[in-house]
Amino acid sequence: MIAERYRLIGRIGEGVTGVAWLARDELLERDVALKEVRGPAGADPGAARALYGRLEHAARTAGRVSHRNVVAVHDVATCDGRPWIVMELVRGLALSDVLEGEGPLTPHRAAHIGAEVLAGLRAAHASGVAHLDVKPANVLLANDGRILVTGFGMASAAGTAGSLGPVASAADAPGAEADLWSLGALLFTAVEGRYPDGDGPAVAERAGPALAPVIEGLLRQDPAERMTAAEAEHRLRLASAGGQPRAGTAGAASAPAPAAPGGDGPGPAAGSPPAAGPAPGPEGGRHATAVLAVGIALLVLVVAALVWVVAGSG
C-alpha cells in the first residue's frame, strides 16, 4: 500500500524516469495509474534526492493543467522518501506502439492526432506549463477515442529530454516553441515512419497537400518563422476533415488566420456559407409592388372572361 491509500495491482510499463503501475485508490474506490519514480542505479543519495525533488515539482506543475487531451495528475504521494505520481488511468495504446505495429499513418489520421495533441499543448501553455518531450511514446490513443498527452516536464526534470529540436540550444527559447517543433517532428514521424533529419528542411513526401505545409511550418529552424499554434491547429483540423487550404494561404505558414469575434481561433474555414447579400432597397420594393398589381389585374380579366363565356353558353 502506497501512502496508506493506493494498492498496487499490476505493472503497466517502464520508462526512463520510473515504473508505471495499475493501482486502486482505496479512498475514492477507483483505478489509477501510479508512477513509481526511480533514480539511476548507484546514484549518489544527494543527487537522487535532488532528482526526486525535480520530478515531484514537474508532476505538481503538470497537475495545474485540466484538459480533455491531457492526462490528469491527481496527486503526488511519498513512500520511502520517493515520490509516487498518481495519474488518470488511460486504457489504450501509445502512439509509438501503434506506429511500431501498423507502420506510418495516413495523412488524415495523423492530422487528427496532431490537432488533438496541439489542443492539449495549447491548454498547457496557457497555464504556463511546457512539455519539453513531445514524442509518440507520450501520446496515448485511448480506447474511448480520446487522444491524450502525458509526461509534462518529466524528461526535462530527469535530464533525458530528447525531442526539443533546434530551439533547445537557444537559452532564451520558450518551452512552447520547443513543443511546436517537437510536434512537427512527431507528425513527420507519423506519416514518414522515421524521425526527420537534422540537416536542411524536412520534406514529408507522404503527408499530402494539406498536412505537408503544417509539418514544414512547425519544423522551421527559426522560432520567429515557425507556424503559430493557432494556425497549426486550424490547418490540422481542416486536414483531418479532408479539406484543403484556401487559395493563396498555402505559403503563409507563419501568419495566423483572422480570429473570429469573441474568440482566439481562426476565421471561418474554407467551405463556410457565403455572407448574405445586401437587403433590397426602396426602388426594389416599388418594382415588386408594380409587378404584383399587374399580375392581379390579369387574373381579374381572365376570371371575367370565363364568366362571360359561361353566361353566353347558358
Question: Domain containing 27 — which CATH number?
Answer: 3.30.200.20
269 burial via Cβ count (<10 Å: 0-12, 13-18, 19+): middle
Domain range for 105: 92-240
pLDDT at 161: 61
Same domain, 60 and 170: no
- Please indicate, yes or no, whether residues 32 and 123 belong to a single structural domain of this protein: no
Q: Cell numbers 526535462 correspond to what residue? A: 156
Question: Are 82 and 125 within 8 A, CB to CB?
Answer: no
In a domain, 17, yes or no: yes
Lowest mean pLDDT among 74-78, 87-91, 164-168, 169-173: 169-173
> Which cell numbers hold the place of 252?
503563409
Instruction: Say if pTM beats, i.e. exceeds, 0.85.
Output: no
Task: Return d(Cα 226, Cα 252) in angstroms, integer.
Answer: 11
Mean pLDDT, range 265-289, rounded to an integer: 42
Of 87, 120, 142, the residue at which a domain comes to its end is 87
Can you give the pLDDT at residue 198? 67
* Beta-strand pair 30-37/73-79: unpaired
Task: Give the H/E segment covering residue 95.
Answer: helix 95-102
Does residue 14 sit within a domain? yes
Confidence of residue 281 (pLDDT cuts 50, 70, 90): very low
Residues 301, 305, 309: CA angle, nearest 5 degrees = 175
Both 70 and 104 in a single domain? no
Per-residue CA distances from 303 to 16, 255, 298, 309, 313 (Å): 93, 67, 9, 10, 16
Residue 293 lies in a domain: no
Give the torsion through C-alpha atoms of 231, 94, 175, 41, to 10 deg: -170
- The single-letter code of the amino acid at 42 is G
Domain boundary pick from 189, 218, 240: 240
- Rounded mean pLDDT of 79-105? 95
Same domain, 57 and 176: no
| Domain identity same for 35 and 153 | no
What CATH number should be reported for the domain holding residue 113?
A: 1.10.510.10
Q: 98 and 38, same structural domain?
A: no
Q: Confirm whether 44 is a catalytic residue.
A: no
Return the DSSP state at 57: H
Shared domain for 217 and 118, answered yes or no, is yes
What is the spatial order of strands in the sheet that 73-79 belongs to?
A: 6-15, 18-25, 30-37, 82-87, 73-79
Mapped onto helix, strand or coil, the DSSP state of residue 214 is helix
Helix, strand, or coil (residue 285): helix
- Point out the catalytic residue in the list 44, 75, 133, 172: 133
Q: Is the same domain home to 48 and 116?
A: no
Domain annotation covers residue 177: yes
| Domain end call among 87, 120, 145 | 87
Over 50: is that where the pLDDT of 43 sits? yes
Q: Is the pLDDT of residue 275 over 50?
A: no
So what's the pLDDT on residue 244? 72
Has residue 272 been placed in a domain?
no
Structure-model confidence comparison of residues 256 and 80, the more confident one: 80
DSSP structure string for 138-184: GEEEETTS-EEE--TTHHHHHT-----GGGGG-TT--HHHHHHHHHH
Pair 65, 132 in one domain: no
pLDDT computed for residue 255 by the predictor: 37
In a domain, 211, yes or no: yes
pLDDT band at 203, cuts 50/70/90? confident
Mean pLDDT throughout 125-142? 95
Higher pLDDT, 119 or 296: 119
Q: For 206-255, how does the pLDDT look when each residue is reduced to its tens digit (9 = 90+)?
A: 999 999 999 999 999 999 999 999 999 999 999 999 877 665 554 434 33
Q: What does the block give as the cell for 313?
A: 353558353
Whether residue 260 lies inside any domain: the answer is: no
Bigger pLDDT: 157 or 11?
A: 11
pLDDT at 260: 33
The 10s digit of each residue's pLDDT in 149-195 is 999 998 888 876 655 555 444 333 568 999 999 999 999 999 999 99
Q: Is residue 106 part of a domain?
A: yes
Q: What is the pLDDT of residue 292?
A: 58
The count of domains in the chain is: 2
- CA R_g for the chain: 30
- Identify the band that residue 278 occupies on the pLDDT scale cut at 50, 70 and 90: very low
7: β partners: 24
Burial of 285 (0-12, 13-18, 19+ CB in 10 A): exposed
Same domain, 144 and 212: yes
